[in-house]
A and B are shown apart, each in its own frame.
Chain A
């Protein structure tokens, strides 16, 4: 394990940024953290987490896929893919780091999404263990350890510095590139920090939430449950939950006429939207109840069905904080588990 003194943080960022673009959480003008490119003088946010998840870096909100040149009856397909530049994400939390593994299960399975793979290959993720988990946090429900996040490198904030541990070859290379700034350390300080945070995690309001009774094979049990009506009744279909969610991965593909060709792009989409499944001959999900049910059944049943029981939620709590009607996946989980008794 390595250690970086706090006084060396800016030189550390500068050294990382010399080799690759470095992105880290930075407070914006309204005091919310978002991932920004580091440059000299930029201070890292002290917020627990970013407003939006880190998925943008691998699955951006919009991206161009290809272009077409149209001339008379002729069409030329132009492959515009380029090798992505190396980049480093610093300060990713345990929940968001776990979401990458979930996105991998969608985009890296055959046939591989090469746009996503390209970014995954060129991105190095440095996670930062949580020091002050919030009351909306429930990553532990899904077996994620906020005090020991995944990633190429794991970092812990200590009183006078940061402990750093490489977990992968990419991580080893990253620490080697800044070796001059690091010293060797033992694990004692990290273990003390982990014990302190675990005590906080145990006292959080959602610490007792489990996935028992949810997951694989529960479609028949849950699909027709009457609770969906009350749960979805106030849903505005705004899609905020989808857009802040680190695991939501549905997309739309559309074309844009640039005036000198057609650009085909993809962008995030939401199963909460009424036209998501709309076809020329009808729509299989005409009510918000059906769309709401789809979103939560996907995360709590369908995804586990197809992915060895792994849930499509990482407990980041963003939807708890952001939903304008205060509906969220925790309420859905409780209602399904208790048959509405805890509504």
Chain B
């Protein structure tokens, strides 16, 4: 009988530096191809045996047939190790875990507003590229993305070379402070939402970033006319199993690993304030 706690071994075939502390790891099965299929917003447990195991969102779109990608910020035991390793190294992967963004259900046919801060763009990138690969199924797309500085914007090359050239894609980048060589918008993401005069008609918003960004973005989206049933986010808590059994990632009666990580804001209202 299959045991979900036992991972696959995968090969890291390409490592791309995104920012000073974020790298993207391309993972393939040893015989080539993806280790398993997933849907946008789902996560996987990555591990280097002997170091640690952690839940990381799958940043590549399921429309990519050849590999999976994970963007990882260097901030702990496992992530330090991943950042220090070379291409060709194997790691272990298990999943996919959790509920995905409802790309074929609630989001289909809608205008989409993506709101991201820092590494928070990683789980949304899976949706964004899924939408690009199924462009006819979705309306106007606005991507509001901010980071501390230009160097901290992840996927910068992909954004300017591919996303901005996709029909009816409107990318709005911002950085926290003025910086030499940056003539784009300066300011925090929540304020930028208000400045853009977004339309909530037939639209859904997908938000991911630091808790403080989410906290201040929500009222501004509501002010712009979005209802909580139109706004989705994805969450992260400490996890060991990924399947709702180790008891670690609950918020009230919901487990982020299996009932999330994607939640609609009206669903979050039902949960106690403990995240």
Contact B3–A114 (Cβ < 8 Å): yes
Q: Say yes or no: A280-B75 contact (C-beta < 8 A), given A77-B6, A253-B246, A269-B246.
A: yes
Of residues 57 through 109 on chain B, the ones whose CB sits less than 8 Å from some CB of chain A are: 75-76, 79, 86, 88-92
Contact A75–B5 (Cβ < 8 Å): no
Decide yes or no whether A305 CB sits under 8 A from chain B: yes
Contact B245–A255 (Cβ < 8 Å): no
Inter-chain contacts of B50 with A (CB < 8 A): 68, 70, 255, 257, 262
Stretch at the interface among B150-158, B164-172, B218-226, B236-244: B236-244
Contact A250–B246 (Cβ < 8 Å): yes
Closest residue on chain B to residue A67 by CB atoms: B49
Identify B245's interface contact among A113, A279, A305, CB under 8 A. Answer: A113
Closest residue on chain B to residue A283 by CB atoms: B238
Contact with B along A79-116 (1 / 0, CB 8 A): 10100000000000000000000000011000111110
Identify B92's interface contact among A68, A106, A114, CB under 8 A. Answer: A68
Contact A73–B88 (Cβ < 8 Å): yes
Decide yes or no whether B4 CB sits under 8 A from chain A: yes
Decide yes or no whether B247 CB sits under 8 A from chain A: yes
Inter-chain contacts of A342 with B (CB < 8 A): none
Query: Which among A224, A255, A290 has the greatest number of chain B C-beta atoms within 10 A?
Result: A255
Q: How many chain B residues touch the partner (CB < 8 A)? A: 43
Inter-chain contacts of B5 with A (CB < 8 A): 65-66, 113, 253
Inter-chain contacts of A220 with B (CB < 8 A): 272
Decide yes or no whether B248 CB sits under 8 A from chain A: yes
Complex Cα gap A103–B4 (Å): 18
Decide yes or no whether B7 CB sits under 8 A from chain A: yes
Of residues 235 through 291 on chain A, the ones whose CB sits less than 8 Å from some CB of chain B are: 249-253, 255, 257, 262, 264, 266, 269, 271, 276-281, 284-285, 290
Complex Cα gap A269–B252 (Å): 19
Contact B247–A302 (Cβ < 8 Å): no
Of residues 111 through 162 on chain A, the ones whose CB sits less than 8 Å from some CB of chain B are: 111-115, 117
Q: Say yes or no: A276-B4 contact (C-beta < 8 A), given A219-B253, A251-B240, A281-B75.
A: no
Decide yes or no whether A76 CB sits under 8 A from chain B: yes
Closest residue on chain A to residue B76 by CB atoms: A280
Complex Cα gap A302–B4 (Å): 24
Complex Cα gap A73–B86 (Å): 9
Inter-chain contacts of A302 with B (CB < 8 A): 250, 252-253
Inter-chain contacts of A224 with B (CB < 8 A): 272
Inter-chain contacts of A306 with B (CB < 8 A): 253
Complex Cα gap A106–B3 (Å): 15
Contact with A along B1-23 (1 / 0, CB 8 A): 11111111100000000000000
Contact A277–B248 (Cβ < 8 Å): yes
Q: Say yes or no: A250-B274 contact (C-beta < 8 A), given A73-B88, A73-B89, A114-B1.
A: no
Identify B49's interface contact among A75, A79, A294, CB under 8 A. Answer: A75
Inter-chain contacts of B52 with A (CB < 8 A): 255
Decide yes or no whether A74 CB sits under 8 A from chain B: yes
Contact with B along A296-310 (1 / 0, CB 8 A): 011001100110000
Inter-chain contacts of A301 with B (CB < 8 A): 253
Can you name 29 A-B pairs with beta carbons within 8 Å? A66-B5, A73-B86, A73-B88, A73-B89, A75-B91, A79-B3, A113-B245, A114-B1, A117-B1, A219-B252, A219-B253, A223-B274, A224-B272, A250-B247, A250-B248, A251-B240, A251-B246, A253-B5, A253-B53, A253-B240, A253-B241, A255-B52, A264-B49, A266-B240, A269-B247, A277-B249, A294-B250, A298-B247, A298-B250
Extra contacts besides A75-B90, A269-B248 (14): CB < 8 Å: A68-B50, A77-B7, A107-B245, A111-B243, A113-B245, A219-B252, A223-B252, A255-B50, A255-B52, A280-B79, A281-B75, A285-B274, A290-B274, A301-B253
Write the residues of chain A forming the contact surface with B, with a CB cutoff of 8 angstroms. 65-66, 68, 70, 73-77, 79, 81, 106-107, 111-115, 117, 219-220, 223-224, 249-253, 255, 257, 262, 264, 266, 269, 271, 276-281, 284-285, 290, 294, 297-298, 301-302, 305-306
Write the residues of chain B forming the contact surface with A, with a CB cutoff of 8 angstroms. 1-9, 49-53, 75-76, 79, 86, 88-92, 236-238, 240-241, 243, 245-253, 271-275
